[in-house]
Structure 1
Amino acid sequence: MDPPLSFTIPQEDFLLIHQMDRDLYKILVTDLSRDPSESMRLLAMWLWLEKVGFHNVVKNIMSLPIILINEIADESMTCLTCLTNNYNTSVFSMSSSEANDIPLLQSLIENEISLKFFLHNRVEAIQGVEKTRREVCMRAFGDIMQQAMMRNLAERMVENNNFLFGSAGPMNLQFGSVGIAAEMVQQQSNNNGRRGRIIPADERTLFVTFSKGYRVEEWEVREYFTMAYGDCIEALFMQETQPNEQPLFARIVFHMVSTIDMILRGASKVKFSINRKHVWVRKFVPKRTKTDRNILLGETSDFGFGATR
C-alpha cells in the first residue's frame, strides 16, 4: 500500500501548508489553555469537515475573536461526544421547527449542519476524524503539542510545590492574591452580618448567541429579558460589528445570580425566541490563561464588545 500523499511532502512545506491550522491550534492550547490532545481532535474534526464539503471552516474560525473561538471549541466537543458516546439518534428526534443545536458552528458554514449530521454519518465521521488526526494533525501540530504538554507539566509541578511548601515566587503571589481577596470579602461579611459574599460579574453573566441571517438588536434582547424578569440587567455587551454586519453573540451581566437560575432552570443551554428569531443562552464561563487569568475579561474592547449600561 502506498503511503498517504501527505507523507510525500517535505516537512517544511507541510508545515507551511498547514500554517493557519497551526495558528489555530496554538490559540487553543496556549491562549485558551485547552487540553492539547482534545484540541488536536478538534482540529482533526474541522479539517475533516472541510474535506467532506464544508469549506473554510478553519479560516472562518480564525476570523473570530478569541472568546468566540472558545465557544466554537465547546460546541465542537459536543459533536465529538456524540460520536464517541454512540448516542442514539432517537435522542435527537426533533420537530421541523426545532432550532439548530450547534448554532455557532452553523453560523460559520454555508451548508446545513447539526448534531444529526454527525449521528447520521457516525461511522464515516469517526474514521475520517481519526485518519485526519493521525496522518495530518500529528505531523502538523506534534511539536506544538509536545511544548504545550511539557509546559503544562512544569506548571503543575510548580503549583504543587507551592501548595505543599510555599514560595515567594510569582505563582505563589498569584494564588496568594486570591486568598487575600477572599479573606477581605469574608471580613466584610463578618463586619456586617446583613451582607453576604460579593458575587463577581462573571458568575452573574450569560453568554448569548444568535442565528446567522436573523439579526437581533440590542434593544430586543434588553426588552425581552426586562419584560420577563423586571429590571434585571446590569450591563449588556453586544459584539461590535460593521454597520452591514450582524452580531453573532452578546454577554449579559445581571444584577442577581438568581435571575440566571430562573432563566436556565438547571439546563446548560436554553433556547428562546425573540421576535421569532432564535436565541441561545448559557452560563458564561471564561477560560483564563495560566499566565494571566484575567486576560479574557480584563478589557472588553479586546473581544469586539461594546458596552451599554
Structure 2
Amino acid sequence: MDPPLSFTVPQEDFLLFHQVDRDLYKILVTELSRDPSESMRLLAMWLWLEKVGFHNVVKNIMSLPIILINEIADETMLCLTCLTNNSNTSLTTIMLSSEANDIPLLQSVMENEISLKFFRQNCMEAIHGVEKTRKEVCMRAFGDIMQRAMMRNIAERMVENNNFLFGSTGPINLQFGSVGIAGALGQQHSNNNGGRGGIIPADERTLFVTFSKGYRVEEWEVREFFTMAYGDCIETLFMQETQPNEQPLFGRIIFHKVSTIDMILKGASKVKFSINRKHVWVRKFVPKRTNTDKVILPGETSGFGFGITS
C-alpha cells in the first residue's frame, strides 16, 4: 500500500505548496460556479496526471483563458465518466478510439500524447490514483475553499427560492428571461428561427468551436465552411483574440436561425468536422454566469478574450 501523501507537512506549508492548485480550484467553484465536489475530482485527476508523468498540467491550465479552463474541465469530466462507466457501450467505443483528439483541449496542455484510450488502458490505476489524491491531497488542500463554496451555494439557493416564492424581479427572473432584457440579449422573432415560436436568445443560436493546437484555423476558413454547407447562416463570428504568432484555440458562431444548429449537431452533444484537413469540434454554447445577479451578454468579454471579427 502506498504511504500517505505528505500528511507530515505542516498545514501552512502544505497550503503554500499547493497555492497554484488552490487558485485553480477557486476559479472552478467561484468564477465558473462549478460543483465543489466535482471540481475537487477534477483537481485530483490533474494532480494524478502530473504524478504519472504529465508535467505542469495545472500550471498550463492556469495559463488559459477562463472559458477554455471550463472546456478542459468538461473534457476531464468525460475522462472521469469513462473510468466509472466501462459497461456503457458508447463510452467504451469512444475510449477504444486511437485518436488523441478525443479530448483536444486537454491534449493541448499536455507535453505527452493523451486520449480517452489512455484512461481505458490504465483504468484501475487511474481510479485508485485519482481517489487517493482526492482524499489525501485535495481534501486537505481545498477543504476550506470547498466549505465556503458550498455555504455560498446554499445561501444563493435560499435567495432564489425566496425570489421565486415572492415574485422578485431579481436574478431568478433574469435566468428565465423577460421582455425587458430581450433586446439586450440579442433575441430574434420566430420568423427568423425555423418556426419555433417566441423569441430566441442569441446564446441559444450559438455554437462553441474548438481547434487542435498546432493546426491553425483562420476565421475565413470557418466562415467559408459553414456558409458553403448551410448558406448565409452566420450572424456573428467571434474568434479568440491572440498575439500575431499565436493560434486561436476556440471561437463562437452565432447563427441567424436556431434550426441551423439542429442541422449541424443532429442530436449529438459534440460534432467533429474537418476544415481543410484540420479538425474542428463544435457544440452548443453554454454561457456561464459569474454570480447570481449578472448575466453575461453576447459580445461582452468578461475576461473571455473574444473579439468581434465579422
CA distance in 2, matches of 1:267, 1:283: 10
AA matched with 2:157? R
- Corresponding residue for residue 174 of structure 1: 171
- 1:67 touches 1:296 (CA, 8 Å); kept in 2? no
Instruction: Say yes or no: does 1:92 pair with 2:94.
Output: yes
Find the residue that maps to 1:302 and give its secondary structure.
coil
Structure 1 residue 176 displacement after superposition: 4.2
Structure 1 residue 153 displacement after superposition: 1.0
CA distance in 2, matches of 1:160, 1:76: 32
Residues 191-217 of structure 1: CA deviation (Å, up to 9, x unaligned):
xxx994221110010011111111111
- Corresponding residue for residue 156 of structure 2: 155
Given the superposition, is the C-alpha separation of residues 95 and 15 from structure 1 closer, same or farther in structure 2, using an over 3 Å criterion? closer
Give the number of the structure whose alpha-carbon radius of gyration is greater.
1
- 1:79 touches 1:118 (CA, 8 Å); kept in 2? yes
AA matched with 2:205? R
Which segments of 5 or more consecutive residues in structure 1 lack a partner in the other structure? none
> Which one is further off, 286-295 or 213-222?
286-295
Which segments of 5 or more consecutive residues in structure 2 lack a partner in the other structure? 183-187, 190-194
CA distance in 2, matches of 1:52, 1:270: 31
Residues 39-83 of structure 1: CA deviation (Å, up to 9, x unaligned):
000000000001101111111111111111111111110000001
- 2:67 touches 2:304 (CA, 8 Å); kept in 1? yes
CA distance in 1, matches of 2:67, 2:157: 24
Q: TM-score, normalised by structure 2?
A: 0.89
- Corresponding residue for residue 122 of structure 1: 123
- Corresponding residue for residue 257 of structure 2: 256
- Corresponding residue for residue 192 of structure 2: none
Count residues in correspondence: 299
> Which one is further off, 149-158 or 42-51?
149-158
Structure 1 residue 5 displacement after superposition: 4.5
- Corresponding residue for residue 37 of structure 1: 37
AA matched with 1:175? I
AA matched with 1:306? G
Q: TM-score, normalised by structure 1?
A: 0.89
Given the superposition, is the C-alpha separation of residues 59 and 163 from structure 1 closer, same or farther in structure 2, using an over 3 Å criterion? same
AA matched with 2:171? Q
Find the residue that maps to 1:23 and give its secondary structure.
helix
- 1:29 touches 1:36 (CA, 8 Å); kept in 2? yes
Residues 104-156 of structure 1: CA deviation (Å, up to 9, x unaligned):
10111121111111111000000000000001000000000001111111111
- Corresponding residue for residue 241 of structure 1: 242
CA distance in 1, matches of 2:96, 2:216: 24
- Corresponding residue for residue 25 of structure 2: 25
AA matched with 1:153? I
- Corresponding residue for residue 114 of structure 2: 113
Note the 1:287-298 alignment, pairs <5 A.
287-295=288-296, 297=298
Structure 1 residue 183 displacement after superposition: 8.0
Note the 1:44-55 alignment, pairs <5 A.
44-55=44-55
Instruction: Say yes or no: does 1:83 pair with 2:80.
Output: no
Structure 1 residue 280 displacement after superposition: 0.6
Structure 1 residue 174 displacement after superposition: 2.5
CA distance in 2, matches of 1:180, 1:241: 33
- Corresponding residue for residue 275 of structure 2: 274
AA matched with 2:14? F
Find the residue that maps to 2:225 and give its secondary structure.
helix
- 2:170 touches 2:293 (CA, 8 Å); kept in 1? no
How much is the aligned-residue C-alpha RMSD, in angstroms? 2.6
- Corresponding residue for residue 309 of structure 2: 308
CA distance in 1, matches of 2:260, 2:127: 40
CA distance in 1, matches of 2:197, 2:276: 38
- Corresponding residue for residue 216 of structure 1: 217
AA matched with 2:142? F
CA distance in 2, matches of 1:154, 1:95: 44
Structure 1 residue 2 displacement after superposition: 9.3
Question: Equivalent pairs: percent with the same residue?
Answer: 82
